[in-house]
Structure 1
Amino acid sequence: MAKHEAESLENVAKKLKQDMDTDQKPGCVDVLFGVDCCGRCMLRFLGVRDFEIYELSSKEIKEILTSYRQAPTAATAAEEGETSIESRMDQDAKEEKEEKEEMEVICTACVGTVQFAEAFVQEIVERMQKEAYVTKTFNMNVTLPTSTLIRNHAMAIYWNQKLSSYPTAQVDIKEIFKLLISWPIERQTGLTLDFGSELRMQVAIKHEETKEDHVFLSKMKESGLIIKTKRENRKMIVVGDGRHHVVKALTLVKDHRFISCGHVPPTPVSSRPQLDSIEMMRESVFVGGRYLKYTRDVSQTPWSIGTTMLAELSVSGIVCETLKNAFRADEFKFVTAGREDANVRMLGNGRPFYVEMMNPRIPVLPSETIKQLEGEINTIMPDKVQIRHLAALRPEDTKVIKDGEETKTKSYSALCWTSKPVTQAMIDAVNEYTGKAFYVEQQTPIRVLQRRAQMIRKKEIHSLKAFPLEGHFMVVHLHTEAGTYIKEFVHGDLGRNQPSLASIIDCEADIMELDVLEVDLEFPPPECLP
């Protein structure tokens, strides 16, 4: 709802009086005053939906609502012993009561969450300023103490005991709390609350004093509430007591059972709620391009066994840290169109990749800045890794990488050793397949069998061409379907690959060096390039 900054509190107060005058709620105000309910919760229970009124303090609201309290009837007076409570107090007790009222008793319904909502604003604003997201809007979700569910339910039962009817269109406590902290945040930061904003903020409030208010429900079989503890990440945590579980339990428990085990009306509280956590998250952004790897000592991603690093450098490490810092992201995810081993070079036009920037503080960088980042990355280790065609991507553009896993083709150059000296007959046998497609059946390679399921994969070799070198060496160029195991195709993997280069030349063969020459996939999309 739009906030009318210019409207005075006096005019807001008039609105409340008009609402009370036009929509009488007989008896309700008396009930609320009798259970130490704050002014804002009174408005919630009375169904007041003119949200600007809630900016009045609890004390101001109660002062206005006092005029709507009903005069005591004869029966009421009799119940109270023919005299008012205050008339039976001595002067000291009166002064004590006045002092307590001046301090403002903590609300038994919201345990102070909406009553003192503004108290949380400054810490939230400071966190927002520290994170410094580049944005004009923010979205907010709030988590309030579970005890507010129990206490609101107890209030409804209490009203039903006291009155024959009461307002049923009560205002959700989270809705009021969210607005009460959002309005001053808007004024202090200049940002606008927008439920469609990409910047999402989760604010959680806790109240230690009432954190076990709901536990009695777990002792009532019909509630279905089962609370357990379990060990997770070396810590004991409680499960089964989430808000949705409690809400469901309350719908299953009859009022008379709730009264017998719970507290109706809610019991007083003596401590204020606290800010538990502030989590801020923005939708991921994506950049992508193609990388080239000119050396045989760089893995694609960090490669280790236990605590031992098997490759000191990685493509992702060289490329992504610079991008992460530029977008001020929390983390990154490096995704590529296939992968090559650490001792395999990636040449030609490079391998397509994209980087997902998670929770970036800066969502958009100008194309000129992205070009500068490409140049900066290419100066880190120019003789080992470089990138090309770096561009900002839309989320849907990244699907090309995944979709291309089964459709793309790759070209390779392999330096091969043969157990026999290379002859022209061997070269001719290989070159029978130049420009001629054929299929190979590859069982899961022995070298990866410990982490991949045993199966037979049928892959297409589109073309094969051999070039002789001296002695026992030849260079073989291959154009293959994506996912073909090149090393196993060359040496046959103890007969698990049929046919293989070894079977074609009728002798043992193995790869000495392997280069990827081309990954046939259009990426980044042309429309993303400057």
Structure 2
Amino acid sequence: MSKHEAESLENVAKKLKQDMDTDQKPALKVRLEEALDGGLKEITKAPGCVDVLFSVDCCGRCMLRFLGVRDFEIYELSSKEIKAILTKHRQAPPPEAPSENTATPIGQDQDREEEAICIACVGTVQFAEDVVKQIVERMQTEAYVTKTFNMNVTLPTSTLIRNHALSIYWNQKLSSYPTAQVDIKEIFKLLISWPIERQTGLTLDFGSELRMQVAVKHDESKDDHVFLSKMKESGLIIKSKRENRKTIIVGDGRHHVVKALTMVKDHRFTSCGHVPPTPVSTRPQLESIEMMRESVFVGGRYLKYTRDVSQTPWSIGTTMLAELSVSGIVCETLKKAFRADEFKFVTAGREDANVRMLGNGRPFYVEMINPRIPVLPSETIKQLEGEINTIMPEKVQIRHLAALRPEDTKVIKDGEETKTKSYSALCWTSKPVNQAMIDAVNAYTGKAFYVEQQTPIRVLQRRAQMIRKKEIHSLKAFPMEGHFMVVHLHTEAGTYIKEFVHGDLGRNQPSLASIIDCEADIMELDVLEVDLEFPPPECLP
């Protein structure tokens, strides 16, 4: 659907919502009469035009579609009401009305039960309102905080085949197809959106962040398109394959069927398919209702004071290597507050589980996926920060929690190449630390130099082998007793600190070990600072 068509439908929906405060059906009937006697007169006066539609089990709403009626509000009339008006434009006398003694199943609407299920829409448009109750109940259960909704629909593939077949049939009977039919999905979407608006108080808005996908199925006609796959010129290839222990059919999507119909000539379609379409005896069913709102983002900085918490859940198979994670401590509270389905935890770099994150903390943001609540007041976000900081205050805390705009999250991605980090490393040396070793290291204080780091052996199983050239902006050592020294480093983001210290079997040049001319290893590592302005100042309260 084009943007112009979407806006047109949206305007129609808004207008009808206002008009339907009172019973407008008498006025709609008049408008249909006027349309048939006015702009559509040239169509309806064609010999047998309306009779062709009455000669098959076509519902009143689909009759309007085939006649090209684009006054969408008229479709609010029931199929029987529309047929009663169209009957006046028939050339052949209508059949006798059914006997008054005809039984109607208990609990069914007599007006609608008398009518056969439409062969064109298989009941989707004819009984569109039947799905509204389930949709409204689902919307009430999900309880999205919103004033608008966007609606997309998926109808049975068979409606494509049947509309095409009925078009061919009409063309055969009238020698020419009089007009372009109205898209069945447009009508179905409006027929369910209007009552949803009236019952929920929400407004149909094709720009809404709340997107609803309604799928309708009709099992009786689900194989109507299969015959096309046996016609070489259609190009329709339907295959079955096993996926997740289930057999699924591929190649039969609506876009494939639409393309196949354009490739098959009418006479070939008629010889292999059914023209007019065959009757159906069952109504369609609501297959699924999917509701999704665009993600919202919150972010801040986290501090990790312990060496037994991983950044994200860390496991091999079913074995957890770290019992706790920063994302678990921080994100579950936020997920609950926004009533989101899932979350995505994104950080400016990462530290190993046995590395502390100190100073002002590491920048992070959390993407809330499908949140029912899109906006929280700044006071509430501040309360959430406090709540998170009471979960395990001796292990993980956060600072500067704030709501973010989607574009604010780019700061973290862009900062991967520009940010710098400061570290404090407790190092062991194979020789007792002496002043000469300290002086050798401190010769680099305030003096930038580059190291070439091959992909560390410890991560070769998951990262490509390559040489990374990283800048170390400053290096300073402080002696401790015996074989220990503390080294402060200020480096380019992405520098492997552990490998810089021990050299990684010569794969890191130069290294701390080569500078002090003895073996060295890292005992403890702390991140002191991540030099990245985040969250952006304008996001902070």
Same fold (TM over 0.5): yes
TM-score by length of 2: 0.88
Aligned pair in 2 of structure 1 residues 16, 312: CA closer, same or farther (>3 Å)? closer
Post-superposition shift, 1:170?
Answer: 1.3
Q: Distance in 1 between matches of 2:462 and 2:11?
A: 71
Q: Distance in 1 between matches of 2:132 and 2:388?
A: 41
- For 1:299-342, what per-residue CA distance to the aligned partner results, in whole angstroms no more than 9, with x for missing partners? 00000001100000000000000000000000000000000000
Alignment of 1:27-106 (within 5 A): 27-71=48-92, 103-106=114-117
- For 1:10-40, what per-residue CA distance to the aligned partner results, in whole angstroms no more than 9, with x for missing partners? 9999999999999999922100000110000
Q: Distance in 2 between matches of 1:73 and 1:464?
A: 97
Aligned pair in 2 of structure 1 residues 262, 347: CA closer, same or farther (>3 Å)? same
* 1:295–1:345 contact (8 Å) kept in structure 2: yes
Q: Matched residue of 2:98: which SS?
A: helix
Post-superposition shift, 1:174?
Answer: 0.3
* 2:17–2:197 contact (8 Å) kept in structure 1: no
* 2:80–2:111 contact (8 Å) kept in structure 1: no
Post-superposition shift, 1:82?
Answer: 32
Structure 2: give runs of 5+ residues left out of the alignment. 27-47
Aligned pairs, number: 519
* 1:288–1:390 contact (8 Å) kept in structure 2: yes
Q: Distance in 1 between matches of 2:13 and 2:144?
A: 37
Q: Distance in 1 between matches of 2:91 and 2:290?
A: 46
* 1:9–1:56 contact (8 Å) kept in structure 2: no
Aligned pair in 2 of structure 1 residues 76, 489: CA closer, same or farther (>3 Å)? closer
Moved over 4 A (4+): 1-26, 72-85, 97-102
Post-superposition shift, 1:169?
Answer: 2.4
Q: Matched residue of 2:356: which SS?
A: strand
Aligned pair in 2 of structure 1 residues 269, 76: CA closer, same or farther (>3 Å)? closer
* 1:77–1:83 contact (8 Å) kept in structure 2: no
Aligned pair in 2 of structure 1 residues 220, 477: CA closer, same or farther (>3 Å)? same
Post-superposition shift, 1:122?
Answer: 0.1
* 2:503–2:513 contact (8 Å) kept in structure 1: yes
Aligned to 2:269: 258
Aligned pair in 2 of structure 1 residues 429, 68: CA closer, same or farther (>3 Å)? same
- For 1:278-310, what per-residue CA distance to the aligned partner results, in whole angstroms no more than 9, with x for missing partners? 000000000000000000000000000011000
Aligned pair in 2 of structure 1 residues 514, 2: CA closer, same or farther (>3 Å)? closer
Q: Distance in 2 between matches of 1:362 and 1:78?
A: 55
Aligned pair in 2 of structure 1 residues 5, 209: CA closer, same or farther (>3 Å)? closer
- For 1:442-475, what per-residue CA distance to the aligned partner results, in whole angstroms no more than 9, with x for missing partners? 0110111111111111000000000000000000
Post-superposition shift, 1:166?
Answer: 3.4
Q: Give the stretch that moved more between structures: 344-353 or 167-176.
A: 167-176
Aligned to 1:8: 8
- For 1:470-505, what per-residue CA distance to the aligned partner results, in whole angstroms no more than 9, with x for missing partners? 000000000000000000000000110000000000
* 1:285–1:363 contact (8 Å) kept in structure 2: yes
Post-superposition shift, 1:168?
Answer: 2.1
Q: Distance in 2 between matches of 1:82 and 1:469?
A: 99
Post-superposition shift, 1:167?
Answer: 2.9
Q: Matched residue of 1:218: which SS?
A: helix
* 2:441–2:515 contact (8 Å) kept in structure 1: yes
Q: Distance in 1 between matches of 2:64 and 2:328?
A: 56
Structure 1: give runs of 5+ residues left out of the alignment. 86-96
Post-superposition shift, 1:380?
Answer: 0.2
Aligned pair in 2 of structure 1 residues 22, 358: CA closer, same or farther (>3 Å)? closer
Q: Distance in 1 between matches of 2:232 and 2:5?
A: 51
Post-superposition shift, 1:164?
Answer: 2.6
- For 1:167-202, what per-residue CA distance to the aligned partner results, in whole angstroms no more than 9, with x for missing partners? 322110000000000000001000000000000000
Name the % identity.
Answer: 91
Q: Distance in 2 between matches of 1:433 and 1:220?
A: 76
Q: Give the stretch that moved more between structures: 301-310 or 69-78.
A: 69-78
* 1:139–1:194 contact (8 Å) kept in structure 2: yes
Aligned pair in 2 of structure 1 residues 344, 16: CA closer, same or farther (>3 Å)? closer
Q: Distance in 1 between matches of 2:364 and 2:486?
A: 28
Aligned pair in 2 of structure 1 residues 16, 456: CA closer, same or farther (>3 Å)? closer
Post-superposition shift, 1:165?
Answer: 2.9
Aligned pair in 2 of structure 1 residues 266, 79: CA closer, same or farther (>3 Å)? farther
Aligned pair in 2 of structure 1 residues 460, 251: CA closer, same or farther (>3 Å)? same
Post-superposition shift, 1:235?
Answer: 0.9
* 1:16–1:53 contact (8 Å) kept in structure 2: no
* 1:336–1:354 contact (8 Å) kept in structure 2: yes
- For 1:71-126, what per-residue CA distance to the aligned partner results, in whole angstroms no more than 9, with x for missing partners? 479999999999999xxxxxxxxxxx999996210000000000000100000000
Q: Distance in 2 between matches of 1:462 and 1:504?
A: 16
TM-score by length of 1: 0.90
Q: Distance in 2 between matches of 1:475 and 1:7?
A: 66
Q: Give the stretch that moved more between structures: 139-148 or 229-238.
A: 229-238
Aligned pair in 2 of structure 1 residues 80, 265: CA closer, same or farther (>3 Å)? farther
Q: Distance in 2 between matches of 1:84 and 1:393?
A: 57
Q: Give the stretch that moved more between structures: 65-74 or 28-37.
A: 65-74
